[in-house]
Copies of this chain bind each other. A is one copy, B any other.
Amino acid sequence: MEEIITLDYGSGGKKTSRLIEKYIVPRFDNAALKSLGDGAVIPGGETLAFSTDSFVVDPLFFPGGDIGKLAVCGTVNDIAMCGAEPRYLSCSLILEEGLEMETLERVLQSMSAAAEAAGVQIVTGDTKVVDRGRGDKLYINTAGIGVMRHALGGLQAVKPGDAVLVSGTVGDHGTAVMLARSGMMQGEVKSDCAALNRLTEAMLASVGGIRILRDPTRGGLATTLNEFTEGQLFGIELEEAAIPVRPEVQASCDMLGLEPIYCANEGKLTCICASEDAEMLLRVMHALPEGENAAVIGRVTEEAAGKVVMKTDLGGRRILQKLAGAQLPRIC
């Protein structure tokens, strides 16, 4: 086997077979994947959640993760946020001619480890190769299926007084990737890339008042909270001092001219829940490493309907908009 990807590997012929059989299938070993053909047959029975994401992060490897771990955790999290238990993933690769086989192996190994850690199986996939200069080493798409476990109230259940929580420090992933890309010192800032399905399951099993869960990825916490309030009859008021930010992330953001609340997270969630459930929910979250820095960061208000307002450390009030432009392209 050559040590780099050539166009042959995308032909659908012998080389494609060898790539799949030698590199890909052994990493994701399971009965559904081994079954013949391009589709996987999986046992069913319940209402399903279905999600997909393509990953184009640059660079492929960064402190705390890589494109493979990201591709597994990202789709696992999208499914977990629906109140579902993630079960099965697909993995589709777009390889650029010239990619080192060793790089591909590292990424597949990382996907395999992340899938095992999250308790999901990669059961079907696809491989395409594009000519040099028409990709950037490696893009990955994952789609996922989960089984619905908990019905969430949804935005229509949100009431003034409800609590707004975040599961930990914000901005870690976006800052880590920007530092890695710029080649600046990166030792201290690590991506938070992690699967959150264990956390969501514990949260949803413990209280009934969770209205909505969302992982604030591209666009960060500020953008996700705007997605909650947009067009609604309620607003959100945040306490800047209550939002957990690692000092090294804040320092790096200051240097890069970014704001942590607009930087992507890949292992955090934000949620709105009934105020009487907030304390119990925090206890449950603090008991797991994924939620050890969870905090109540604000509340739902009748005023400022449709808006997200932040009470700043200096006592002022600031309206947070959605991220307006390309703050951080190719962050995931």
Please give the residue numbers on chain A whose beta carbons come within 8 Å of chain B beta carbons, in ascending order: 6-8, 10-17, 36-56, 78-79, 81-82, 84, 88, 90-94, 123-126, 128-131, 133-136, 139, 141, 143-148, 154-155, 212, 214-215, 217-219, 223, 227, 264, 321-330
Q: Does the CB pair A37–B323 fall under 8 Å? A: no
Q: Does the CB pair A47–B41 fall under 8 Å? A: yes
Known pairs A8-B325, A36-B154, A41-B47; list 18 more (Cβ under 8 Å). Answer: A7-B326, A10-B326, A11-B219, A11-B329, A13-B325, A14-B321, A38-B51, A38-B215, A39-B51, A40-B50, A44-B44, A44-B45, A50-B124, A54-B128, A90-B143, A129-B329, A130-B329, A130-B330
The SS class assigned to the A binding surface is mixed
Nearest Cβ on chain B to A103's Cβ, whole angstroms: 16
Bound-complex Cα distance A45 to B327 (A): 43
Bound-complex Cα distance A52 to B50 (A): 13
Bound-complex Cα distance A219 to B10 (A): 10
- CB-CB nearest in chain B for A14: B322
* Number of identical protomers: 2
User: Which residues of the other chain, B, contact A54 by a CB distance below 8 angstroms?
Assistant: 92-94, 126, 128, 141
User: Which residues of the other chain, B, contact A84 by a CB distance below 8 angstroms?
Assistant: 39, 41
Bound-complex Cα distance A145 to B126 (A): 15
Bound-complex Cα distance A250 to B135 (A): 33
Asked, given contacts A12-B264, A36-B155, A329-B11, whether A126 binds B53 with beta carbons under 8 Å apart, the answer is: yes
- CB-CB nearest in chain B for A6: B326
Q: Does the CB pair B12–A217 fall under 8 Å? A: yes
- CB-CB nearest in chain B for A144: B39
Q: Does the CB pair B41–A49 fall under 8 Å? A: yes
Q: Does the CB pair B82–A12 fall under 8 Å? A: no
